[in-house]
Amino acid sequence: MNPSIALPARRISDLLSSGVGARAKSKHEAMEKPKTDEDQQLVARTQSGDAGAFDQLVVKYTPRLYGLVYNMTSNHEDTNDLLQDIFSKAYKAIRGFRGKSSFYTWIHSIAVNMTLNFLKKRSRRFHLSLDDVDASIQNDKEFLELTATSSPVREADLSELQRRLNEAMMKLSDVHRAVVTMFHIQGMPHAEISKVLRVSEGTVRSRLFYANRQLQNYLDEFRKNPVG
């Protein structure tokens, strides 16, 4: 099985039965907030010339950012290289950080944007206009009327489902895979994702809806004929 996309099994039934994953919203919104006070202190120390303070930020955020970048690139070497570049850019830019957003949001924005730029250079296969997709999805009747009701997928061969889901994830565009990664895998709420991507929450929801619909289409055969 390709381990690159580790979408948790608990989210699979929502993906197969719901376009937006509405039932997960309360869990995401209740997610523990980053400890911004600690981050602010480390940022202030870094800005004062304490390189050791930035090292602490690197240690703190490396596991999370590694998961984010790896799920977007599906390549360990690319992920390692990008993380070095991400933290290098952050260190150079941190003197200009004024705390208008949390460090958590700021470093995630750098990571996502640098990874998306890298992926654009790596592949030019995606030509669909995101603006067109966002506009059409937000007017979609199913999107507007979607409720939290769903039918959980019955117990099946989850390893096979995971394999197919991994393959389906890699067929998504870079931007849509980023949104799925942040929401479903990293547990980030819509509001936080909108800050990271610098788009409206409505756009985040529409992109997530579109990505989930694509995943549903890719997994349609398994959904109709589950193993077990």
Residue 80 and residue 70: Cα distance in Å, rounded?
A: 9
**Other CB atoms within 10 A of residue 144 CB:** 9
pLDDT at 24 exceeding the cut of 80: no
- Which among 64, 68, 58, 61 has a CA at the least distance from the CA of 88? 58
- How far is 168 from 214, CA to CA, in rounded Å? 8
One-letter identity of residue 68: L
Which tops the pLDDT comparison, 209 or 74?
A: 209
Predicted pLDDT of residue 214: 87
pLDDT at 116: 92
For residue 157, the SS3 value is coil
Question: Mean pLDDT across the chain, nearest whole number?
Answer: 74
- Of the ranges 17-26, 115-124, 157-166, 177-186, the best mean pLDDT one: 177-186
- Contact between residue 216 and residue 19 where contact means Cβ atoms under 8 Å apart: yes
pLDDT at 140: 55
Closest CA to 79 of 60, 104, 62: 62
Percent of the chain surpassing pLDDT 70: 63
Is residue 72 a contact partner of residue 174, using CB atoms and an 8 Å limit? yes
Structure confidence by residue, pLDDT tens digits, 170-209: 888 889 999 998 998 888 999 999 999 999 999 999 999 9
**Higher-confidence residue: 81 or 157?**
81
pTM more than 0.75: no
Cα separation, 53 vs 138, whole angstroms = 43
Tell me, what DSSP letter sits at residue 184? I
Helix (H, G, I), strand (E, B) or coil at 93: helix
User: Of 120 and 15, which is predicted with more confidence?
Assistant: 120
Q: Judge residue 39's burial from the number of C-beta atoms within 10 Å of its C-beta, 0-12 exposed, 13-18 middle, 19 or more buried.
A: buried
pLDDT over 90 at 36, yes or no: no
The whole-number average pLDDT for the span 140-161 is 49
Q: What is the pLDDT of residue 16?
A: 39
Take residue 182 and report the two structure tokens written for it.
Answer: 């942040």
What percent of the chain lies above the pLDDT cut of 90?
41
Q: Given this model, what pLDDT does residue 12 score? A: 38
Token readout for 205 is: 């929801």
CB contact set of 132 (below 8 Å; sequence gap of 6+): none
